[in-house]
Amino acid sequence: MATTTAPWGAIKPTALLVLADGTVIEGAGLGAAGRAVGEVCFNTALTGYQEILTDPSYTGQIVTFTFPHIGNVGANEEDVEDLVPAARTGAVGAVFRASVTEPSNYRSADHLDAWLKRRGVVAMSGIDTRALTALVREKGAQNAVIAHDPEGRFDVEALKAEARDWPGLVGMDLAAGVSCGQSTPWSETPWVWNEGYGAGAAGEPAMHIVAVDYGTKRNILRLLAGLGARVTVVPATASADDILALSPDGVFLSNGPGDPAATAAYAVPVIRALLEADVPLFGICLGHQLLALALGGRTVKMHQGHHGANHPVKDFTTGKVEIVSMNHGFAVDADSLPAGVEQTHVSLFDGSNCGIALAGRPVFSVQHHPEASPGPQDSHYLFRRFANLIRARKGEPALAER
């Protein structure tokens, strides 16, 4: 048990981060007042804090940013990634090193503090994020409560008990709670410099892609639409009959939060039925893990997870190394993959699995986020690879993957 005092020397802290082991970290509160319980992880990205905080895959987590200056470019509604913002999906808490300054960017529409308040995200600044990151690296992701009271009034013992009693993400299905409520079309295409997001591809759609929303990010859907596809988003709990009734040319399995083994209870039977129907499949993050489970593999909880925009991943199909964006606390156990399932990508940080493909079938998935543009477009070819599997089925010429 330990207590750390904020390095900025505040007389009275207005925020606390209380870990399940009894560690209490003091800081300056911002964002929403109140408290939130979740798993503490750290993200090493230098940019994209708003996209990170609104990624539904972070639901149930408190994100510590290792980059010290967060909030400098403000906030806007264009960079929100969750599909159902009213549901307040994404990170429940955020931890920063430095105080949030006034924004300085032509796209800024609001101060980060005000934006965090509107979204209900409890945040704090002024703590030694390097020390917290080192703690997570040493001990693994930590269950914790983050609390913000402008008057600095805290029941520390109650917060310790809440952090200690929270069951953690293992065994927790969160996908259904962040998914869309009903089938809906999507037409917005990727952002273009000085023009914003497109209204949709012109002309007849080249293909119909059904995206299963386990907590999808908007930019994934934009890139699918940017292929010239008609995109229909369906809830995480949609049945195989529901999906096949839409006559898809291909099905996309999205990212999302929680333990894939728990989500598998309703997702895996659907994916297996889609495999039996011989529909081209492409999965990202949780979708990758669920596909692996449907094919007979298993998933494991990682020590600290992968969260950042600077992760090197090798694609064995091309021999190239990509710099990718990662956000996952569970991983596919490569040793559990059955015969006929090939490992296509691997992390060069720790050797963990980052991609699979079903031999001889139009089915593949990746653990990383190719839509997040850290390279900035190192992994965009994966969307064209999916399109080419569909185009081959339709007897149409392939797109250039690079």
**What is the set of active-site residues?**
285, 369, 371
Residue 376: cis peptide before it, omega within 30 degrees of 0: yes
Tokens of 187: 């037409």
Length of the chain: 402
Tokens of 84: 């159902």
Cα–Cα distances (Å) from 276 to 1, 125, 237, 246, in that order, read 53, 51, 18, 16
Dihedral over alpha carbons 24, 25, 29, 32 (to 10 degrees): -50
Check if the beta carbon of residue 24 is closer than 8 Å to that of residue 3. yes
Helix (H) or strand (E) holding 387: helix 381-393
The count of C-alpha atoms lying within 13 angstroms of the C-alpha of 386, restricted to the half-sphere facing its C-beta, is 32
What type of residue sits at position 314? K
User: Rounded CA gap, 29 and 99, in Å?
Assistant: 10
User: Rounded CA gap, 146 and 261, in Å?
Assistant: 27
Tokens of 384: 């064209």
Residue 341 φ/ψ, nearest 5 degrees? -105, 115
DSSP code, position 245: T
User: Rounded CA gap, 19 and 29, in Å?
Assistant: 17
Closest CA to 48 of 69, 77, 79, 76: 79
Check if the beta carbon of residue 288 is closer than 8 Å to that of residue 297. no
Q: Please report where in the chains the tokens 């999916």 appear, as a residue.
A: 386
252-277 as b/e, with b when 16 or more CB fall inside 10 Å? bbbbbbbbbbbbbeebbebbebbbee
User: Rounded CA gap, 89 and 257, in Å?
Assistant: 10
Helix (H) or strand (E) holding 363: strand 363-366
Which residues contact residue 344 at a Cβ distance below 8 angstroms, ignoring those fewer than 6 apart? 315, 316, 317, 355, 356, 357, 364, 366
